[in-house]
């Protein structure tokens, strides 16, 4: 399961499964010390690991850099195994 912040490069290297975040280089999991945000992204990756069925799928996550996300209110992403 690959976490990408450079979609064009991921399209060319073609990992089996990838999540894409339009976030700055060096920040695939988010901002430093924002544990809830980091955990959310990691859970998205684990969920995609379970649910993706087609080789080469790249899923674009909707989260915007330094904008509020669902992790802000203490909500947790439940990973369905």
Strand partners, 60: 20
Neighbours of 37 (CB within 10 A): 17
The residue (of 50 and 75) whose beta carbon lies closer to other proteins is: 50
Is 59 a binding residue for other proteins by CB under 8 A? The answer is no
Binding of residue 74 to other proteins (CB under 8 A):
no
For 48, list phi and psi in degrees, rounded to 5. Answer: -65, -35
- Applying CB under 8 A, the residues found at the interface with other proteins are 1-3, 6, 8-9, 12-16, 22, 24-33, 35, 38-39, 42-43, 45-46, 49-50, 55-56, 79, 81
């Amino acid at each position: 399961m690959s976490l990408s912040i450079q979609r064009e490069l991921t399209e060319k290297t073609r990992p089996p499964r990838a999540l894409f975040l339009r976030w700055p280089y060096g920040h695939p999991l988010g901002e430093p010390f924002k544990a809830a945000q980091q955990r959310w992204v990691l859970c998205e990756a684990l969920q995609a690991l379970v649910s993706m069925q087609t080789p080469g799928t790249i899923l674009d996550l909707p989260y915007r850099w330094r904008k509020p996300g669902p992790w802000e209110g203490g909500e947790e992403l439940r990973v369905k195994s």
